[in-house]
Structure 1
Amino acid sequence: MPIPLIIGAAAAAAGIYGAVKGVSGAIDQSTAKDINNSARSSVERANQELDELRSVTNETLEDYGQRKLRAFNGVISDFIETFQQIKNVDLKQSPELDKLNAGDFSSTTLLSLRQDYQALKDAGLGLGAGIGGGAALAFGAYNGTMLLATASTGTAISSLGGVAATNATLAWLGGGSLAAGGYGVAGGMMVLGGIVAGPALAIFGHVLGNKGEEALNKANANREQAHTICEQASLMGEKLKAITEVTVLANTTFSNVSSRLRHAVSDIKKVIDSEGLDFSGYTEKGKAAIFSAVKFAQLLKAMIDTPILDQEGNLVLSTQKRVLDVNEVTKGQKASLDSIAN
């Protein structure tokens, strides 16, 4: 075969091969672009859903914190002021009322309630004061001991919001989406589940490599990373749902106990008006009214002492059971009082 003919055939074959590779490269580039767009969309969607859950959890904890403050400035303050007027109170010498189980409400418990309320007033959160979002978030998440420790030593809390800021989870819950970046987000993710935060949306830049195969490999790697981020977001979402569920339960129970205590304090005032201030001279019905208020105050104190989150920002797993127990005791308390009244 003549050499020119061979060279011509080789050139033609090379041309065909180059054309095929060119088309293949273009297809790979297009596929890579589609994969990257899909990965980006999945992360954006996961981020949006997570941010919505974060917002709901934040609002739920804030609402619970506001309810606690209202109770301190309302029914708890009213109970303390009313109860301390009564003289010679003996919570252990009424066998007919033993089923109320009020004997474990010690003077220490009452003192602790007074100290908590005084701490709030020292912090500038007494009657008529408001509470900011960060403070309400911390007040809803923490128990009284954790939140009021500095105030109880005589040091006024200048900003309860600062308590939230020291906790990565609360800092994240209080503001900032997954895409916002920063320690609050990364810290919140790690606290909520030992998750190492990825750079999220930043990983999905447009692939500009000249080689279609390289672009496709990078896109596939991005897709895998997006899948990991979405799984992490899903895990965080489940933890947020759990926090919200427990907080809603605590809020409802706290509201119920507060309402019971409010009615009980009203009954105490009626007893004082009709039977005076000496507990030893009260009728059994009058003593029952005192036991009722004491027990509901004890239950409310138990709720105040029950945190939703620990100091590391994790959901306290025992909280749900404790709140359910308080709820059951509240129902049983009312039933016992009804039987005595009748």
Structure 2
Amino acid sequence: MPIPLLFIAAGAGTALFGVGKGVKAGIDQKEASDTNKASEYKVEHAKNKVNESRKNCGTAIDKLGERKVAVLDGSIKKFISEFEKLNHVELSESSGLNELQKLVLDKKSFSDLKDLQGMASSLVGGLASGAMAGALTAFGAYGAAGALATASTGTAIASLSGAAATNATLAFFGGGSLAAGGLGMAGGTAVLGGLVAGPALAVLGVVMGAKASKNLDAANANWEKAKEFEEEMKTAADLCNGIRRRSAMFNRFLIRLQTVFDPMIYQMTEIIKERGTDFRNFTEDERKVVASAMSLAGAIKAVLDTPILDEDGNLTKESGLVIESTQKKIESIVA
């Protein structure tokens, strides 16, 4: 018995519907796959960018740490050696010394400077042995006074290296224990700028595991999460770049301070050779050289004492102000 045309038509329609549905499913699956791949690329690109910023920032902080050590173990060490030869140092109220008198180191500051210099010398000893991992990062990021409080002179390298390893921000910049502990890039970034580790890590896990998802809606959700992650990483990279620039600015400023300070120390040395060690026998100009050197040592100490970062890994306000205020002091010293 012939099959009614109605059933044939119905059967054909059902088949076409099935084919159409299958085609759409295939298209959706491909679009989901492409979207997930694009999400993965966005996440990887964001991670690579912040990783590059992290490394550059870490290098800049390390260079600042090296500069601090060089200033303390070089210029400051020479100044302390020459100044301690002097006896009866009293600055008069004469016009040439009156303003400088307000800027010079007091006894406590001088003592602190000696302690810092001793710590720097112990750090220099670790340069040759390769035991400096983390110590320069901590010394660069912290104010020198804060670093001194963290590390006694005898154990400066171990203490500062330990501080860098246990501080999430410093470990992140140095590629230390944080990255090795399983949190990875997102966990390290989370310590910067108040970023929250949980959401960032959740986004990273969802997007990077997206290959298993063939659902277009889920893929689109992953794309939105990838964009969110990208924005957080951009914020972190911007913070890293800001810290890098601040560190480089401090480094350059300390170099400039040395170029003014070193000739003063040389003059002190020559004055002592010619006049002896009794400050009372110095002329007013010679006393002014000593006072200027003391003032500049105090200005350098102020820069060394200023931390670049706070405990949360953010730039400190004082690090943005100290260079301008110190520059004004220098102008009054060398005028």
What's the TM-score, normalizing by structure 1?
Answer: 0.87
Give me the whole-angstrom Cα distance separating, in 2, the residues matched to 1:118 and 1:101.
26
Q: Let me know the Cα RMSD of the aligned residues.
A: 2.6
Partner residue, 1:291: 291
Give me the whole-angstrom Cα distance separating, in 1, the residues matched to 2:146 and 2:52.
28
Q: Percent identity?
A: 33
Q: Is the 8 Å Cα contact of residues 91 and 97 (structure 2) preserved in structure 1?
A: no
Give me the whole-angstrom Cα distance separating, in 2, the residues matched to 1:185 and 1:255.
34
Partner residue, 2:201: 198
Partner residue, 1:125: 123
The one-character-per-residue Cα deviations of 1:81-140 (angstroms, maximum 9, x if unpaired) are 11011111113533322233555421111011012223445xx32568546241111110
**Structure 1, unpaired ranges of 5+:** 337-342
* CA 137–151 in structure 1, closer or farther in 2 if over 3 Å, else same: closer
Partner residue, 1:266: 266
Partner residue, 1:228: 228
Q: What letter matches 1:198 in structure 2?
A: L
Cα deviation, residue 188, structure 1: 3.1
Count residues in correspondence. Answer: 327
Q: Is the 8 Å Cα contact of residues 138 and 170 (structure 2) preserved in structure 1?
A: yes
Partner residue, 2:51: 51
Partner residue, 1:322: 322
263-272 or 35-44, which deviates more:
35-44
Q: Is the 8 Å Cα contact of residues 179 and 201 (structure 1) preserved in structure 2?
A: no
Cα deviation, residue 232, structure 1: 0.4
* CA 51–180 in structure 1, closer or farther in 2 if over 3 Å, else same: farther
Give me the whole-angstrom Cα distance separating, in 2, the residues matched to 1:282 and 1:289.
10
Cα deviation, residue 203, structure 1: 2.4
The one-character-per-residue Cα deviations of 1:268-298 (angstroms, maximum 9, x if unpaired) are 0011112221112211110111011101100
What's the TM-score, normalizing by structure 2?
Answer: 0.89
Partner residue, 1:66: 66
Give me the whole-angstrom Cα distance separating, in 1, the residues matched to 2:65 and 2:141.
7
Q: Is the 8 Å Cα contact of residues 46 and 234 (structure 1) preserved in structure 2?
A: yes
Partner residue, 2:246: 246
Q: What letter matches 2:286 in structure 1?
A: G
Q: Equivalent residues in 2 for 1:202-221 (5 A)?
A: 203-205=207-209, 207-208=211-212, 215-221=215-221
**Structure 2, unpaired ranges of 5+:** none
The one-character-per-residue Cα deviations of 1:196-246 (angstroms, maximum 9, x if unpaired) are 33253762345445xxxx621111011011101100011001111111111
8-17 or 156-165, which deviates more:
156-165
Give me the whole-angstrom Cα distance separating, in 2, the residues matched to 1:179 and 1:12.
60
Give me the whole-angstrom Cα distance separating, in 2, the residues matched to 1:272 and 1:287.
11
Cα deviation, residue 179, structure 1: 9.0
SS at match of 1:192: coil
Cα deviation, residue 155, structure 1: 6.0
Cα deviation, residue 166, structure 1: 1.2
Cα deviation, residue 3, structure 1: 8.1
Give me the whole-angstrom Cα distance separating, in 2, the residues matched to 1:208 and 1:250.
49
